[in-house]
Amino acid sequence: MQKIFNLACGSFYALGAYVGVSAVAAFTAAGGPPWLFVVPLAVAGLCVGVVGVVVERGLLRFVYGRDETFQLLLTFALVLMLEDVIRIVWGTSPRSTAGLYLAYGQVRLLGATVPVYNLIVIAASLAIALAIGWLLTRTAFGRIMRATADNREMAEALGVDMGRVYVRVFTLGTALGTLGGALVIPATAAMSEMGIELIVEAFAVVVIGGLGSMRGAFVGALVVGILRAVAISVLPEIEMLLIYLIVIGVLVLRPHGLFGAVPA
Amino acid sequence: MTRLLGPGLALAAILLVPLAAPPYQTLLMLPFMAYAVILLGLNLLFGYTGLLSFGHALFIGIGAYTGAVLTSRFGLRSLEAILLVSAALGALVAAPVAALCVRYVKIYFGMLTLAFGMVFYTFVLKFYRLTGGDEGMPFLRPLLLGRDLSAMPKTEYLVGPYYYYCVAVLVIATVCMWRIVHSPFGLCLRTIRDNPLKAEALGISVPRYRWCAFVISAVYAAVGGTLLGPPTGNVDPTLAYWTHSGNIVFMTLLGGFTHFFGPLLGAFVFIYLQDFVMSVVPYWRLIFGALLAAIVIFAPGGLMGLIGPRRRERAELVSRA
């Protein structure tokens, strides 16, 4: 949207995951009932999104006028910093929310056993996707956002305050990243490397779907998720290789992704 | 002659390091020289052609793994032969990759190179039998100019013959690159960077020149990658990981991409500063990340941009980039 390729989005995801773990731990220690643990998790995830404001105001806004490669490098600087911040605060050993993953029990669905928590996350991500779609297409803010992405100068000339739009968009993106990190954590464990590993996958998702296309990102995520699951069971050796080859194929054949608009 | 003074003094200092400095400091010079070769190539692409690659670790990995496979699987121990094979393989892999990548510029170019780099990384990681997976592969001590030095203690070998071998490779690489960027070919690359449309109008085939620059820089990265192997005696997949690509871009920017010798200075400062910071606190990434952010925002010309002459001219160059 913002025409920023944010290498640090994986790091925000990791940050959300760690804060989520800590929040749940504090919640359980304070005697909160286990069946409510998803509430502090989601709240923590959203709250960490505030770092988006700091990053945007403190760093990114200085380089909007310059070549995009400088923005890329700035987000790489963030990757380095956040990785160590996580190490300083939470240490190097993986953290997890022990035992809460199955707090909601399991159900049998189409012959497979599925933890209820997975269904909650799926429902939540669908709801978020719909909310974002509504925000982008049905609200004034969404229209301004799309106009800015299309033609920054024109939007500015029409009286849109770029600084405010950028800080909101960036914070929204960050909050979604941290929320995603927090929501995934009961199913796995938080590791300091998860950020730099995720970024390549997230990048695959976005490229396959098309940059700047929300529908595309959703489809891209489905494609990557399903392909990985299939490849793991069929040909485990080429699992990630397959994803990258598809990314390259998409970039070469359809550089704007499956759903991206081709700029004139 | 005056413009040769700085590099000449630097070369003299490099030659004297093993005699004057303790072995530990001398050993740190070895990765510096390997990275110096890599960065000469990277900067042909970034500083001179205006294309930022986030996947050059791919070619570093090719160079390092070529050396490891040749020494430990095929018994080919001559470093000259290994360097030639590395350079050839680097060019061979770069040719199709470059052909696809140079169709794009700016962020798309960076993303595509990153994707190719990660393809190679996962290949190295997953094809355990060929590459040793995440444990890596041993890089046996190579013969230098046909002389077998395997009886020598390791440190003595590295600070002695191997050190001067690296200096020789670095000097050859520097002279070649100097000739390249000051040739008509180099001028064409700069024209393409500053104004691709005008270059096209002047009859320069923009994709072909970009392709050439990419392949040359890949060859440099492969040669430098090979030189990284012997000091540690082992190569592993992190050499090909995308953050490694980021680090070498960091070095280039730290030294100053608008200057021929800037990246070399950047590699030197990066390696010694990293060593120093790590000896004080383990969190070098936090400090280096802040440093990188500061450079990007306040001094995009890097260290050379701060200390070098003709500052205003370079500032203009940066603002145009």
pLDDT band at B320 (very low <50, low <70, confident <90, very high): very low
* Nearest CB partner across the interface for A74, out of B104, B107, B296: B296
Distances (CA, A) of A79 to A4, B292, B301: 15, 11, 22
Query: What are the residue ranges in chain A where pLDDT is below 50?
Result: 1-2, 262-264
Q: Check B293 against A59: CB less than 8 A apart.
A: yes
pLDDT tens per residue across span B286-297? 888 888 888 888
pLDDT at A263: 44
Q: Check A83 against B285: CB less than 8 A apart.
A: yes
Q: Kindly list the residues from chain B whose CB atom is less than 8 angstroms away from the CB atom of residue A88.
A: 283, 286
Q: Kindly list the residues from chain A whose CB atom is less than 8 angstroms away from the CB atom of residue B290.
A: 77, 81
Q: Kindly list the residues from chain A whose CB atom is less than 8 angstroms away from the CB atom of residue B291.
A: 77
pLDDT at A61: 73
B321 vs B305, more confident = B305
Residue spans of alpha helices (H) in chain A? 9-29, 38-48, 51-58, 68-90, 116-138, 140-150, 152-157, 162-184, 194-209, 214-234, 239-253
Q: Are A14 and A179 in contact (CB under 8 A)?
A: no
Distance from B153 to chain A by nearest Cα, in Å?
36
Contacts of B28 by beta carbon, 8 Å cutoff, 6+ apart: B271, B272, B275
List all residues of chain A from 158 to 197 with a beta carbon under 8 Å from chain B: 196
pLDDT band at B310 (very low <50, low <70, confident <90, very high): low
pLDDT band at B125 (very low <50, low <70, confident <90, very high): confident
A220 vs B123, more confident = B123
* Nearest CB partner across the interface for A241, out of B106, B119, B242: B119
* pLDDT higher than threshold 90 for residue B219: yes
Residue spans of alpha helices (H) in B21-104? 23-43, 57-72, 79-101
pLDDT tens per residue across span B15-53? 887 788 788 888 888 888 889 999 998 888 888 888 888
The model carries a pTM of 0.80
> Would you call B265 helix, strand, or coil by DSSP?
helix
Q: What is the DSSP string of A91-115?
A: -SS-B--TTGGGTT-EEEETTEEEE
pLDDT at B92: 92
pLDDT at B321: 46
Q: What is the DSSP string of B127-186?
A: -HHHH-GGG-EE-PPPBBTTB--TTS-HHHHIIIIIHHHHHHHHHHHHHHHHHHHTSHHH
Contacts of B264 by beta carbon, 8 Å cutoff, 6+ apart: B36, B39, B40, B174, B255
pLDDT at A233: 67
Q: Are A26 and A40 in contact (CB under 8 A)?
A: yes
- DSSP code at position A31: T
Where are chain A's structural domains?
9-191, 193-264
Is the ipTM of this structure higher than 0.90? no
Q: Kindly list the residues from chain A whose CB atom is less than 8 angstroms away from the CB atom of residue B114.
A: 200, 203
pLDDT at B154: 78
